[in-house]
A and B are shown apart, each in its own frame.
Chain A
Amino acid sequence: MSQETEKAAPPLPPPPAPQTTDGRGRFLSRGSTLLRWVGALIAGLVVFGAFVLANGADPFAVYADIWTSTLTQPGQFQQIVLRAAPIALAGLAVVVPARAGLVNVGGEGQLIIGAVAAAGVALWLTPVASPWLVMLLMVLAAVVAGAAWAGIAAAMRLVVKVNEAVTTLLLNYVALYSMLFLILGPWKDPAALGQSTSVELNDAMKLPVFAGTAIHVGVALAVVAAGAVWFALSRTTWGFRLSVVGGNAEAARRAGLPVVTLLLTALLIGGALAGLAGFIQLAGMEYKLRPTFGLTIGYVAFLASWLSRHKPLPLLIASLVLAAIAVSGNSLQIGSGLPAASVNILMGLVLLAVLGWTSPRKVRS
């Protein structure tokens, strides 16, 4: 019995019923998604409050603290948007492969490798080339490096059949240690005091900001990328084929679809998007590599993609919400003396609630 139902239920919550034009159905599903979201958030807040209480702090004071320091100040909203941009891009790196039924947990590593490649280009070419050329090559290097990093996992999936979730996870650590090797070794800034970092980017290589704000061009890039991914997935043959593969690869293969090529492109494009996230994190936010560069962005992005059920436009909202939680982690540390990483609990709880409430059968109907 269970065998039967399990066969019927795909392991991924049903990829994107190839967008129907049934407006009413979509509206309903949007409504229930919203409801589940609010419920999950409340459940997360309650349980997190209990944890905070168990740790000897007053949850109400903590929440009030988060509220005033994170959400009521105009500067903070810009901070949230800035944080959300790389999360959204790295989240798209989960969305695209997920359409084809692939689980890319390697956003973290692909982002770091992208940033490392961009930093390398900046390091070598800044003295010899014009700023615009350097910036262009940085983007290119980040995209290619991210795609190549995901390509390793794709090759292992397609050639030796090792699941990509396992390999992308391992590659995250290889990427992290490679970056640490570089910034504590050959790329170390001799002038850096205390923490080892790479040399800061030249001012000309920093992403320009929109006049009167702190919002850099990378944010616009993330929004455009989300739009492009939405278009590619729901309005092109390639996107449709991807979701066929994700729904039933066997059927897709028998129908003559190039399954291997589709899986490969999905993962490579995912990696490229995560590499791009690494670029904007480097050129727009941090300006240099440091041991904590891009820390947990890839994992948060994975949660964001699952929260939005792998849909590009809701992903933007999910990224904003998770970015707000991440920003509140800083105020938590300053205000209540709780470690910033404790907000991971809140993110984890929200996604757990969503995963737990989304039984495949319900989503299908």
Chain B
Amino acid sequence: MIIDILAGAVRGGTSIMYAGLGETISERGGVINLGTEGAMLLGALGGYAVTAETGNPWLGVLGGALAGALLSLVHAVLVVSRRANQFASGLTLYFLALGVTALFGVSYVSQQINAFTPVPVPGLSEIPGIGPILFDHDPLVYIAYVAAPVIWWVLFRTRVGLLVRTAGERTEALEVHGYSVQAVRYCATVAGGALAGIGGAHISIAYANSWFENMIAGRGFIAVALVIFAMWNPIRIMAGAYLFGAALSLASVLQTSGIAVNQFALNAVPFVLTLVVLAVLGRRTMLAAPDELLKVFDNSRTT
């Protein structure tokens, strides 16, 4: 049963991880995107629709990424070019995505698709314990293993990453060197949205293998909170995402093993867990926040 929970944690945490990684990039660049939830919703429907039409889940992933990127592009236009409030813009886009996916999703409810199936890694999946937990999943889970370290490397060891981080820390330094802060933020926000879209697609074409209204159910908001206590670090995002995956999978595992627990009490667990972790770690982690982001957060500083 422990193995079931842990394997479920990896599977269920993957979507949150993609979204969290995307949000990390965007926030490192100084833009917080509450529309992550909306980008995941659009990604879930986009991924599902493309998979249903083409029969190819890989094209579905691409569709999901495009859908998420498109929504985040709107966010970028509003907050970078038009200087709208980042929270208001993000939440409006969530609302917009809720409506758009409800409207266009009707025809895909209860439609069958050629979803991703688990691909056991030869050899590794035979290892008792670790095998089923880590190496018996759909391909997007494996890509996520690589994505977190790669994004860490790009952010902290390459020139591109330096540009993104500078846009979030010291905009004037970027401008002195002749780069456009706006352009960098556009790129970071759109890239973040694309990753959130992939996270959404993972839910619809690899996790639930179906589409229904509002299927993301708050995972995008968890991802935004996750970024804060992961201290804007992709590797910690990975750990945190699996923690929430575990909270998510606990419910289904307990249910299938016949232990009577109220499902809704368990559904609240990931959210309560997030709040508790934020309360415990919040003060320390906020010290690691990008400077430009703190300006967005602290409309009214108290110290």
Contact = CB atoms under 8 A, between A and B. Distances in A.
Interface of A: 1-3, 6-7, 9-13, 51-52, 54-55, 100-103, 105, 152, 156-163, 165-167, 169-174, 177-178, 180-181, 184-185, 245-246, 249-250, 252-253, 259-260, 263, 299, 302-303, 306, 338-349, 351-352, 355-360
A245 to B, nearest CB: 5
Nearest to A262: B300
B268 A3 contact: no
6 contacts: A3-B171, A166-B278, A174-B275, A345-B100, A348-B99, A355-B85
B296 A11 contact: yes
Interface of B: 34, 74, 77-78, 82-89, 91-96, 98-100, 102-104, 106, 171-172, 175, 181-182, 213, 217-218, 221-222, 224-225, 228, 262-265, 267-268, 271-272, 274-275, 278-279, 282-283, 286, 295-302
A161 B286 contact: yes
A352 B96 contact: yes
B302 A259 contact: yes
Nearest to A249: B300
Contacts of A177: 264-265, 267-268, 271
A51 B102 CA distance: 12
A344 B295 contact: no
* Dominant secondary structure of chain A at its interface with chain B: helix
Contacts of B82: 355-357, 359
A184 B91 contact: no
A171 B272 CA distance: 8
A163 B302 CA distance: 12
Contacts of A245: 300
The 10 closest A-B CB pairs, nearest first, are: A344-B99, A348-B96, A345-B99, A101-B299, A160-B282, A249-B300, A341-B102, A177-B268, A101-B300, A342-B103
A188 to B, nearest CB: 11
A341 B213 contact: yes
Given A246-B300, A345-B100, A355-B88, 12 more contacts: A54-B104, A103-B87, A105-B87, A161-B302, A163-B228, A173-B217, A339-B213, A344-B95, A347-B95, A348-B98, A351-B95, A355-B82
B84 to A, nearest CB: 4
Contacts of A246: 299-300
Most buried by A among B274, B295, B299: B299
A18 to B, nearest CB: 15
A102 B299 CA distance: 7
B171 A355 contact: no
B92 A351 contact: yes
A160 B302 CA distance: 11
B95 A303 contact: yes
A299 B99 CA distance: 13
Contacts of A342: 99, 102-103
Contacts of A263: 300, 302
Contact of B84 (A54, A345, A346, A358): A358
A51 B106 CA distance: 13
Contacts of A178: 264, 268
* Dominant secondary structure of chain B at its interface with chain A: helix
A357 B301 CA distance: 27
A55 B103 CA distance: 8
Contacts of B103: 51-52, 55, 338-339, 341-342, 345
Contacts of A172: 218
B104 A105 contact: no
B83 A12 contact: no
B295 A2 contact: no
Contacts of B296: 11
Nearest to A183: B264
A352 B91 CA distance: 10
B262 A3 contact: no
B85 A2 contact: no
Given A162-B278, A167-B278, A348-B99, A356 B77 contact: yes
Contacts of B286: 160-162
Nearest to B227: A166
Contacts of A347: 95, 99
A171 B81 CA distance: 31
B92 A13 contact: no
A344 B97 CA distance: 8
A166 B34 CA distance: 8
Nearest to A155: B279
Contacts of B95: 299, 303, 344, 347-348, 351
A11 B295 contact: yes
A351 B90 CA distance: 11
Contacts of A340: 102
Nearest to B182: A2
Contact of B271 (A11, A173, A302): A173
A53 B262 CA distance: 43
B300 A259 contact: yes
A156 B282 contact: yes
Nearest to A184: B264
A152 B275 CA distance: 10
A263 B296 CA distance: 17
A52 B217 CA distance: 25
Contact of B295 (A6, A156, A184, A303): A6
B93 A250 contact: no
Contacts of B299: 10-12, 101-103, 246, 249
Nearest to B106: A339
B50 to A, nearest CB: 16
B38 to A, nearest CB: 9
Given A101-B300, A360-B83, A160 B92 contact: no
A139 B262 CA distance: 29
B222 to A, nearest CB: 7
